[in-house]
Amino acid sequence: MQAVIPEELEVKIEKLSNMGLGIAKAGGFVIFVENSCPGDFAKVKIYKKNKHFAFAKITELIEPSSQRVEPFCPMQKVCGSCQLQFINYDYQLVLKREIVKDAMHSIGGEEFEVREVIPSPQVRNYRHKIQYPIAQTKNSKRILAGYYKPSSHEIVNIKYCPIQPEICDRIIEFIRVEAQKLGISGYDETSHTGILRHVVMRASDYSGKVLVVPVINSEKLPENVRTFSEKIFDKFDEVSGISVNFNTKKTNLILGEKTQNICGEDYIEEKLCGKIFKVGAKTFFQVNPSSANNIFEYVKKYISENFESPVILDAYAGITAFGIALSDIAKRVVSVEEVKESVDLARQIVKENNINNIDLYNMDAGEFFRKQLDKYGKCFDVTVLDPPRKGCTNESLDYALKLTKHKIIYVSCNPATLARDLKYLKEKGAKVDFIQPFDMFPHTYHIENAALISL
């Protein structure tokens, strides 16, 4: 028989879920509470209930946790991007470590060693990739640009965001005004009408330059969008270039397949581990360069202390950021990436950094693994796996085990899929030495991890 809980009740927040919600328990129910911190004692109101759990909002904070702080952004509660900004930063790191440990236990079924989280060097102005959905008000035709409210597609019109470079606020405000002046309509996802769907910005921590990418609901470039692009480029010295992306599909994917450079360069430059990288509109690159540098330096130091001139496989390589960062300590690096644009950029980066020991392959990782195994067998001292959030397939993990002599370093932004894949590797005989978390996304529930695995 299902337990009955009242619509309003008082609860104590015990811990944080992997989605950044506070967890309380009452009458056999788990209650997920928005904008709550472990240690809070609060009156909450249930707004959604399932068989074994419910969702609630705080109506009265009776006794706040000692770890609560005043958010530095006035939009924190309505924006939905910085779920943990009201929690002391040092305590955020403690909670994120617990999220990783919980995932390893509940999904991986193991108590792997999870080390203390290495903090982000920047906790404000750290986000260097900005993706604003665009809409338009019905009556005034005012252009809206910002982030979605939690669990909705309602845009919060963001004028100031303290976790991204200040120049991005000025650019997006100019875009709001100029788009309306030029009759460029905002996108309506319900009717699939309107021209301007998103504005993506890639900002460089190294140079201060910004690549601006308007995403339009059109197969061809309208003349007013060309004029609009030129105006943005002329207005801001910080803008390195404007590249328009075309996306006419009814999809939640932000970028379409085709991108056209309109003004200036079609990339920005970023510096990590002493190497200069080119980052384009569709390039996968970490949003927090200073924290990414921490990860690369950590992995580089670990490998150099344990190997002399190793042969390294960089799988799911993107623009080969790991491989390029590790090239100084490697005899040879083999990089595998299926996105052609990323491999083309990697070739440029390798050439411009005068690197001569990297082999680049533009192909699916699984297909490469299969061919490499047939030809060379177990030939890599270290394999670096840095897959998308969905993790690796069992087939890819099997090949990594067969191709690697000594160590797999698995870098993941998703503790759940990492736990699943580590469980699989352990069942196949691998040993998980430890997991080192890095805070790539301060004030959110997201956490990056590097798992060190021995074979």
| Angle (CA) 323 314 334, round 5° | 80
Q: What are phi and psi of 431, to 5 degrees?
A: -120, 125
Residues near 199 by beta carbon (within 8 Å), at least 6 away in sequence: 130, 131, 132, 134, 145, 172, 175, 212, 213, 214, 215
DSSP-derived letter for residue 328 is: G
**Residue position matching structure tokens 């769907």:** 197
Please name the residue ranges forming H helices in 147-253. Answer: 166-181, 223-235
198 neighbors 134 (Cβ within 8 angstroms): yes
Asked if 54 and 71 touch (Cβ cutoff 8 Å), the reply is: no
Cα gap 435→433, rounded to integer Å: 7
In the sheet with 258-264, reading across from the earlier edge strand, the strands are: 155-157, 143-148, 129-136, 196-203, 210-216, 239-246, 258-264
CB–CB of 254/198 below 8 Å? yes
Planar angle of CA 225, 227, 228, nearest 5 degrees: 60
Catalytic annotation on 413? Answer: yes
* Per-residue tokens: 345: 């950029």
- The residues assigned a catalytic role are 413
